[in-house]
Structure 1
């Protein structure tokens, strides 16, 4: 039986790259997007790909509707929440408009956890819930500052994920927080050191090796532990 992966936020960048790599490795993939993505649709020829359109992780009704639609289907071995934003990340946090900072926190920290709460019942025995974090969310590694609101949102995600894992300490699945590396995407920019394919291949290999783990870990695309 094929293993099943759910990739949340798969229209482009790392989400799209993860879909391609999971299909390449023989997985059955379900991918969510807010709007139709021709690039994602083009991957259907590579393997079993199911696309759910109109899923915005900041929209509780859309997430609940998707969870209900999954209720009668087979469980997912991996649920990987990729969606995130870096709006006005270069502006010091004290000068970011409050509504912008609130929106970043909601999308990067709160909504992934709400999605995990909605879908955790559809995670298979020995499966994983993977949340895209960042090394910038490490409090102990933050020595130079910069990207304050983005850093804070990812640090908040890490804390909420540990709380989520603790609240589900008897669960049959584990939680991973994943740093993808500095990747050349719309968020990472052109100066980044990794291409999408290298990062995605690494992440897929790491999560496959981690299937069956319990608790919560913070790691990067090579499998190395990232300090909290």
Structure 2
């Protein structure tokens, strides 16, 4: 049976599209006829190519409240069917926790676990009914599945993001949109490294399919790029 035609333009705000998965998501959503606003910390030739294709490029630093507030003002009253906070860091994550300075550990936690939630609070009223608030999580954020250790400060930050997102969901229990924590797979990016299993295109195509299938839900889900549920 043929899929029904899409009659309304879908709108996405991708937060953290400077490179890798965020950039790939902006491109893939645009190719699937979404109207996309993509945020970067600073522009590059890749972003100019997106702009020429019709993607709106905005700058924001999610660790800076004033920067987030300025973005909200620039976007006016526009509502989005998808707000996806992709931005994150993995600074010194190859080291055990005791070998990482307190300052670095604190910054990883702030950027990965706190700033995405503060951004979501700032844009909670900009998510359209039936839409989705998504966060880029990781299978490494699963406490239940941590049997091998490693990537300690990154793991902890993503586990904290998962917990904070669930607390956000409780605070916004009357919301009319769903909350999705996504694991992109192990992807060949600057963060994932050259030995990773997946290319960006495969991961992004899977995540967009999951996002589109999730539309209309109001629950909280922790899924991978294939749509499989992960243990918290």
Common topology (TM > 0.5): yes
SS of residue matched to 2:106: helix
Q: Deviations over 1:121-169 (max 9, x none)?
A: 1000000010000000000000111011000000000000000011101
Distance 1:41 1:171 in 2: 35
Query: Mapping of 1:79-228 within 5 angstroms?
Result: 79-228=83-232
SS of residue matched to 1:87: coil
Long gaps (5+) in structure 2 = 1-7
Long gaps (5+) in structure 1 = none
Q: Deviations over 1:22-65 (max 9, x none)?
A: 0110010000111012112212343x311102x01001100011
Contact 1:166-1:215 within 8 A present in 2 as well: no
Contact 1:134-1:154 within 8 A present in 2 as well: yes
Indicate the RMSD between aligned Cα atoms, in angstroms.
0.9
SS of residue matched to 2:82: strand
Contact 1:71-1:122 within 8 A present in 2 as well: no
Distance 2:220 2:179 in 1: 5
After TM superposition, which residue ranges in structure 1, 4 or more long, deviate above 2 angstroms? 43-46, 68-72
SS of residue matched to 2:159: helix
Contact 2:182-2:225 within 8 A present in 1 as well: yes
Q: Deviations over 1:75-129 (max 9, x none)?
A: 1000011101000001111221000000000000000000000001100000001
The aligned counterpart of 1:64 is: 69
2:27 counterpart of 1:20 = yes
Q: Note the C-alpha offset of 1:174.
A: 1.0
Contact 1:132-1:178 within 8 A present in 2 as well: yes
Distance 1:119 1:69 in 2: 12
The aligned counterpart of 2:57 is: 51
Contact 1:10-1:31 within 8 A present in 2 as well: yes
Normalising by the residue count of structure 2, what TM-score does the alignment of the two structures yield? 0.95
The aligned counterpart of 2:4 is: none
